[in-house]
Amino acid sequence: MAFDLDMIKKVYDRFSSRIDAARQATGKPLTLTEKILYSHLTEGDAKAAYHRGVDYVDFAPDRVAMQDATAQMALLQFMQAGRPQVAVPSTVHCDHLIQAKIGAVEDLNTAKDINSEVYDFLASVSDKYGLGFWKPGAGIIHQVVLENYAFPGGMMIGTDSHTPNAGGLGMIAIGVGGADACDVMAGLPWELKFPKLIGVHLTGKLSGWASAKDVILKVAGILTVKGGTGAIVEYFGEGARSLSATGKGTICNMGAEIGATTSIFGYDEKMAAYLRGTQREDIAALADGVAAHLTGDEEVYASPEQYFDQVIEINLSELEPHVNGPFTPDLAWPISKFATAVRENNWPTALEVGLIGSCTNSSYEDITRAASIAKQATDKGLKTKAEYTVTPGSELVRYTVERDGYLNTFEAIGGVVLANACGPCIGQWSRHTDDPTRKNSIITSFNRNFAKRQDGNPNTHAFVASPEIVTAFAIAGDLTFNPLTDTLTNEAGEQVMLDEPLGIELPVKGFAVEDAGYQAPAEDGSHVEVLVSPTSSRLQLLDPFAAWEGTDIKCLRLLIKAKGKCTTDHISMAGPWLKFRGHLDNISNNMLIGAINYFNNTADSVKNELTGEYGPVPATQRDYKANGIGTIVVGDENYGEGSSREHAAMEPRHLGVRAILVKSFARIHETNLKKQGMLGITFDNVADYDKVQEDDKIDIVGLTEFAPGKQLTVVLHHADGTEDSFPVNHTYNAQQIEWFKAGGALNIIRRQQGA
Ligand code: F3S
């Protein structure tokens, strides 16, 4: 941590001059977001104002964090970059590969057993290259980062889309692909399109059942899953200052659900209290010393419309608890309207499982609020009707809430405490069900609820709410129950109501832990050996992708024209596939198997033009590759939304797809495609999507003059001999065009390192 303190001092030391330079360059007062971004420019003091949503800017983040599923590929890539040590403080967190089945202890032991090869690889590669390693069971990346590494005014990247969780402590924290993490660990600048700014003005104060989770559930309803794309969301106002640091973390975490680049709150007394509560008094003291730089300028918040691209007002005093879903996190229902929505839409009213915790909602405050509801079930003679699980976010939280008796409270109502890991949130859930074909409902305090996300079952209707609302629903077992107004019948046949939840922000006796699960790296890692077996099915050393051939790309076959939502889960499904995250060829067998083929409305069934037969997408693509035929994937709006996994970009690249042509891209995925040397292009006129036919042969023209802002042309040669031709757009800058030409960014890094 001493190392961190030195790094934080350096960041704070340069604040004054850099922020002054930024004020001069922009000629205006600054938002907090701008202060942090301009203080982290690779070039030093700002020379000119950047255009939001237009200019690509090089940044120097202070820190990198990786979870075990994404770290494998990031570190396999880093190993190829030829450096002896990581250039900035970096950590690995083993949280994604633990399957929830029986309970914490058994599930953790099973995970250690079946993932030993991967854990050993990650532990040894961390040891060698100077990364902190958080063992399986230590906790979920974002909670561990909030407890140990996040600091006000800092900037970090993380190989997980919920990295913005650290915004709860005033850090610009952005979810990226492993290739970006590799760049920063290799000491190279990290590039980001200068974001637009959305201001959320919070007034009033939460009360009763309403919680921080409801703020973001409401914001998701307002902005939708696309509304934050390319933007950083900055929360401010007296309402913001009234929220706990962990509550702020929940809000920032779920900013990923509106597509936001990240979200942030300004430094305040709640953050200082959390820093002190997690043994970081020294960081709080440093932050107090530069407090004026850790919030937006007064003029900005006095007339936010002038300085933000969009402003949203929310009065916390009037905020109702929300339940969002099913199938998308932006379908927002105030609790007073939810029961009617359930009935009108014929969603299954019987609730089968309630799940609390996860990286989104497992703070001490969350656990105590949920436990205050669970306790009432026992006290008032109520039996829990649905199954109920609790996922602590870290060993620090788990140990502390166990010490304080809260785990007993959950167990008393039949709650099953799962390992400190992602588990059901990422589909690592061996769910017990008697009939998987039955339409069924679950409710979670997690962040994401796309079809199949939690249990792989398309019949599961997943809803998202706060932990206390989830707990109340689990007790009622009925989605038409409104805990604010409805009674329940207890075992004595009496009508009882649940009282409002009560929470405790920080443990009165302080946090405690016996073994947090941390392994520090070797002082000198040069002697440490990293072993990857050539016969491993889980890990595979990488070969560089081939460079561009220097000509237009002609005669591509259409692999799939994806219809509707095509998230990174559709492109590279999680769940059982997670175990192949470090093995590119094996994981490529899940490529696009969740995408719906426009021509037959079916998933994982595309026409193979070589045989005329319909078959699975990966097998069809492998056939084209074996025959030396390039292909193209066509997609709809916001293609690649969801997670940051670069596998969704690497798999098509590995299997020989040459271009992805869509109506629009989600930001992280578009960047990942560029890093891998893939051509990602968008229809200039979205109606041209309709012109693409199943049997087309497709040319991409203009690549020999590939330049920033210059359109390319797509030519469709239809089977009946006719042709269509139309312009397509791209967002490649000069450097990214070099990546494309070299066959990927890593090929350029290696060259620069002389490896
Ligand atoms: Fe893990 Fe789910 Fe969070 S997968 S990192 S708990 S969003």
301-322 per-position pLDDT tens digit: 999 999 999 999 999 999 999 9
pLDDT at res. 681: 98
Share of the chain above pLDDT 90, in %: 89
Residues having CB within 6 Å of any atom of ligand 1:
95, 140-142, 160, 162, 358-359, 422, 425-426, 446-447
Using one digit for the tens of pLDDT, what is the confidence trace for 126-182? Answer: 999 999 999 999 999 999 999 999 999 999 999 999 999 999 999 999 999 888 899
**CA 251, CA 218: separation in Å to the nearest integer?**
10
Mean pLDDT calculated for residue range 675-691? 97
pLDDT at residue 542 tops 90: no
643 tagged catalytic:
yes
- The closest of 561, 563, 571 to 670, measured between CA atoms, is 571
pLDDT in the model for residue 533: 83
pLDDT of 367-384, one tens digit each? 999 999 999 999 999 989
Asked whether the predicted pLDDT for residue 80 surpasses 90, the reply is no
Task: Give me ligand 1 centre to Cα 730, in Å.
Answer: 31
Is residue 515 annotated as part of the catalytic site, yes or no?
no
pLDDT of res. 745: 86
Fold match between domain 320-496 and domain 553-753: no
Q: Count of alpha carbons within 13 Å of 148, Cβ hemisphere only?
A: 29
Say if residues 170 and 8 touch (Cβ distance below 8 Å): no
Tell me the three state secondary structure of residue 602: strand
- Residues forming a β-bridge with 357: 361, 391
Rounded average pLDDT over 42-64: 95
CATH 1.20.120.330 fits 320-496, yes or no: no
Q: How far apart are CA 713 and CA 726, in angstroms?
A: 6
Hey, how many other C-beta atoms are within 10 angstroms of the C-beta on 474?
Answer: 29
pLDDT score at 597: 98
Closest ligand 1 atom to 142 CA: 5
Question: For the structural domain made of 553-753, what CATH number should be given?
Answer: 3.20.19.10
Report d(CA 25, CA 19) in Å as an integer: 10
Place of tokens 């250039």: 87
pLDDT of residue 667: 81
Q: Is the pLDDT of residue 426 over 70?
A: yes
Mean pLDDT of the chain: 95
Among residues 124, 161, 572, 643, the one annotated as catalytic is 643
Read off φ and ψ for residue 399, nearest 5 degrees: -60, -45
**Residue 180 known to be catalytic:** no
Would you call 645 a catalytic residue per the annotation?
yes
Candidate list 93, 96, 241, 431, residue with the active-site label: 96
pTM across the whole model: 0.87
Per-residue pLDDT at 1 exceeds 60 = no
Q: Cβ neighbours of residue 569 under 8 Å, at least 6 residues apart? A: 450, 452, 453, 594, 642, 643
Structural domain spans, the chain: 2-317, 320-496, 553-753
C-alpha to C-alpha distance for 336 and 354, rounded to whole angstroms:
20
Q: Which pLDDT score, from 0 to 100, does residue 748 have?
A: 86
Relative to the CA of 426, which ligand 1 atom is closest? 4
23/28 Cα distance (integer angstroms) = 6
Does a cis peptide bond (omega within 30 degrees of 0) precede residue 84? no
What per-residue confidence (pLDDT) applies to 3?
A: 60
CATH assignment of 2-317, among 3.30.499.10, 3.30.870.10, 3.60.15.10, 1.10.3720.10: 3.30.499.10
Check pLDDT > 70 for residue 605. yes
Would the pLDDT of 652 be above 70? yes
Active site residue 95: yes
Rounded CA gap, 484 and 335, in Å?
8
pLDDT confidence of residue 655: 98
Asked if residue 754 has pLDDT above 80, the reply is: no
* Residues in Cβ contact with 215 at an 8 Å cutoff, skipping those fewer than 6 apart: 202, 243, 251, 314, 316, 319
The pair of three-digit structure tokens given for residue 4, joined into one six-digit string: 């961190």
pLDDT given at position 728:
98
| H or E element, residue 570 | helix 568-571
CB 642 within 8 A of CB 666: yes
Query: What is the model's pLDDT at position 755?
Result: 60
Instruction: Please count the CA atoms within 13 angstroms of the CA of 257 that sit on its side-chain side.
Output: 31
Backbone phi, then psi, for 628, in 5-degree steps? 70, 25
> Exposed e or buried b for every residue in 640-676, given b needs 16+ CB within 10 A?
bbbbbbbbbbbbbbbbbbbbbbbbbbbbbbbbbbbbb
ipTM comes to: 0.97
Tens of pLDDT, residues 226-266: 899 999 999 999 999 999 999 999 999 999 999 999 999 99
C-beta atoms surrounding 371 within 10 Å: 30
Residue to substitute in 160, 254, 420, 450 for testing ligand 1 pocket (most ligand atoms within 8 angstroms of CB) = 160
